[in-house]
Structure 1
Amino acid sequence: MEDVAYRRVVLCFLVRPGPGGHEVLLGLKRTGFGAGRLVALGGKIDGPESALDAAVREVEEESGIRLVPAAVREAGRISWSFPAHPAWNMAATLFTADDVGQPPAASDEIDPRWYAVDDLPWPDMWKDAPHWIPAVLAGRRVDAHIVMADDDEHVASAVHR
């Protein structure tokens, strides 16, 4: 079996108290991988950049929100395998941060918006999202591997370590 590379990425979930409970900042992906889906803010780690630095940079690029690195918490790791498209394989470091009071602004790539944690629009997200996002938003550390089905849409398996 040949070694398959995994792109190094970060995902960052900003959370805040809302009128009906906690809220999370997600964004409608406008371009690139996952376009048309509701996703967490994040993206690729550039060169020698640390995962934390990438999370702070990506949040600012995608929403205009400037985070203080010391206030960003690591929330675990997750990897995705796409057997039908191995070039899509990713290994992500997950982060959470509290809202800093700056309103999010849309970027060319993402249209960010706050969503109630207890009423997330799962049909608008990747099908793997319910397997691990609730744990992140509940403050539990995630260590998981998701294998997507050959249709690149459904989940073939989800392993939490």
Structure 2
Amino acid sequence: MRPRTRGPLPEAVASGQEADPAPAGEWVSIDGVEYRRVVLCFLFRGGDDSGAADRIHGDRQVLLGLKRTGFGTGRVVALGGKIDGAETDLDAAVREVAEESGIGLVPAEVRAAGSITWQFPARPAWNMAASLFTAEAGNATAVACEEIEPRWYGVDAIPWQDMWQDAPHWVPGLLAGRPVHATVVMSDDNESVTGVVVD
């Protein structure tokens, strides 16, 4: 069994506010259940990014990627991954986006967008607590890597059938520019969803 560094519940998960800049370790315990801390970052381009209510219209696009290896292989996912060591959630988001798409983000321009936990009762090692982020990508070009093949999708043309089954429950809020705080419990098949709560 790999060593686990436990830390306090990240601010974003505990209170629904922006993420605590202090590192909390790679694992966190929430209500007696352990979760690996991860980050997801949704990059946007095009359209009118000044009005959140209008973000689902026009030529607004979001960067997602086909997972080539590792957890979620074969699915279309948001960019992101595990927090390494003592790095902050924001540092992890910037690093993961660079690794998975070649796009360099300016940390000050990355926005906290909420939090989500996934519980896999039949496979607890997959439990995750994610801090969510969004950023504008401008004219940046995404480049594929070994792990993920990034692709731009219209926010009104998301390939839901190719994503995890929980995605339609909470991703639309992010696409509309709203912060999302969600809890997902997966079924014993580790594919379907037993329950979702979205605040």
TM-score range, shorter chain: over 0.9
Displacement of 1:101: 1.8
Match of 2:44 in 1: 15
Displacement of 1:20: 4.3
1:136 has 2:174 as partner = yes
Secondary structure in 2 matching 1:133 = helix
Q: Distance in 2 between matches of 1:89 and 1:152?
A: 11
Match of 1:67 in 2: 105
Residue deviations 1:95-153, cap 9 Å, x none? Answer: 00001322100001000000010011100000000000000111111111000111111
Matches within 5 A, 1:114-129: 114-129=152-167
Query: TM-score, normalised to structure 1's length?
Result: 0.96
Pairing partner for 1:4 from 2, 15, 33: 33
Displacement of 1:160: 1.8
Q: Distance in 2 between matches of 1:5 and 1:109?
A: 26
The answer to whether the 8 Å contact 2:46/2:138 transfers is no
The answer to whether the 8 Å contact 1:63/1:105 transfers is yes
Displacement of 1:5: 1.1
Q: Distance in 1 between matches of 2:184 and 2:59?
A: 29
Secondary structure in 2 matching 1:6 = strand
Displacement of 1:3: 2.9
One-letter amino acid matched to 1:55: A
**Which stretch of structure 1 is more off in the superposition, 106-115 or 18-27?**
18-27
One-letter amino acid matched to 2:126: W
Q: Which has the higher strand share?
A: 1
Residue deviations 1:34-77, cap 9 Å, x none? Answer: 00000000000111100000000000000000000001000000
Match of 2:92 in 1: 54
1:98 has 2:136 as partner = yes
Match of 2:51 in 1: none
Matches within 5 A, 1:26-37: 26-37=64-75
Structure having greater relative contact order (Cα 8 Å, sep ≥ 6): 1
Secondary structure in 1 matching 2:32 = coil
**CA RMSD after TM alignment:** 1.4
One-letter amino acid matched to 1:29: K
Match of 2:120 in 1: 82
The answer to whether the 8 Å contact 1:67/1:100 transfers is no
Determine which structure has more spread, i.e. the larger CA radius of gyration: 2
**Which stretch of structure 1 is more off in the superposition, 98-107 or 72-81?**
98-107
Q: Distance in 1 between matches of 2:157 and 2:103?
A: 23
Q: Distance in 1 between matches of 2:139 and 2:82?
A: 25
Displacement of 1:21: 2.3
List, as ranges, runs of 4+ consecutive aligned residues in structure 1 with deviation greater than 6 Å.
none
The answer to whether the 8 Å contact 2:45/2:139 transfers is no
Match of 2:25 in 1: none
Q: Distance in 2 between matches of 1:86 and 1:105?
A: 33
Q: Distance in 2 between matches of 1:149 and 1:135?
A: 23
